[in-house]
Amino acid sequence: MKRRAFLGALGLSPLLKGLPPLLKGLPPLKITDLKAVNADGYIFYRLYTNGGVTGVGEPSPSNGPLNVTFAEMLKPLILGMDAFRIEEIWQKLYIGLYKTRGQSASMAISGVDIALHDVVGKALGVPVSTLLGGAVRDRIRMYASYTSRDRAPVEQAKLCAADIQNGFTAAKIKIAARHGFDADPKYPDHDMVREVRSAIGPKPEFMVDANSGYSVPHAIQIGRMLEKYDVFWFEEPVPFTDYAATARVNAALDLFIAGGEQDHTRYDFQKMIEAGAVDMVQADVTKAGGVSECKKIAAMADAAGLGYTPHDTSHNIGLAACLHMVASTPVCRYSQEFIREPGGKRILKTPLVPEKGFITLPTGPGLGIEIDPRFGE
């Protein structure tokens, strides 16, 4: 007996009117187009289907205009495919780009993967977090993250202190000279760390990011200084490509070592975890392969007894995707990144901003966000 006849026999036919299209037995949602939208320099993806459901995704802005090129490369691979078959589409994209495989390609795949989750969530009338297993937390604790290395220590300390007073419970700053290989930063590391810790007090979690700035001996030396100020984690202390070197630093220090924003797919993270390089995994949903891949990476981190707090510098679609993943992933039990630098493109109709250090998980269908009408539909 067909489903509709069966439900009719049970007297449940009226309930069909409220069911999403998929559950009514309608045809699959076939992908009809993929477009890269340039919103005043910020590029995001729109994924169209024959059912009238459209999804949005963010490939990391690190790709710049390459995200447009990748959209044209990816579109022929997915046209006509069923948007509900997310895993099959991911595999096709990954294999289809094998000649250009690398983080840049993974950023583009991330944008499509996020858009697919948005489409499926909207089609089913549920949030992306529900697709990922359901939320284990409805409010996500955020940390105030600063990316500038140009502020004087006292100035940076004041900004961090203001964030703590406004409800954040953790803050992260930059130290070292990015990829400087022991080059002197603009301001001494010790001065920067001392001033910030003094300003925020002993209780808040305090993290530092070196962006691969040190050699192993210097990183260990700096790490011992950081331990004196009760720094929670030391991010990318040495060149991120060298897992063995990062593992040597990790073995020598007691504070957490974090890393992973430059890595992509479960295959990179398998090597990182096996090397014992980090205590805190930081796979980025807009870089590492999207929500699908980051859920797998999170499971690997969990099984290895590690923490997972995604790298995230987006205020837009990427942030929304990150919130859904964090909300549905128990191992994401620490605070999550929220960039506090002024400026940056905002394209959401209703911005996602912390209130007293927390962001409430969007509960609308899909990602639960709307793009500002200025940037089309």
In whole angstroms, what is the distance from residue 268 CA to residue 272 CA? Answer: 6
Residue 168: phi and psi, rounded to 5, are -65, 145
Active site residue 315: no
Alpha-carbon dihedral of residues 96, 132, 354, 209, nearest 10 degrees? Answer: -50
Q: Which residues pair with 207 in a beta bridge?
A: 172, 233
Name the residue with tokens 């990182």.
272
* Contacts for 251-257: CB closer than 8 Å, 24+ residues apart: 251/276, 252/220, 252/223, 253/220, 253/223, 253/224, 253/227, 254/227, 255/223, 255/226, 255/227, 255/231, 256/232, 256/280, 256/307, 257/233
As given in the structure block, the two tokens for residue 296 are 């797998």
What is the secondary structure of 66-97 as a DSSP string? Answer: HHHHHHHHHHHHHTT-BTT-HHHHHHHHHHHT
Which is catalytic among the residues 117, 264, 311, 315? 311
Angle, helices 103-124/86-96, rounded to nearest 10 degrees: 160
- Give catalytic residue positions: 311
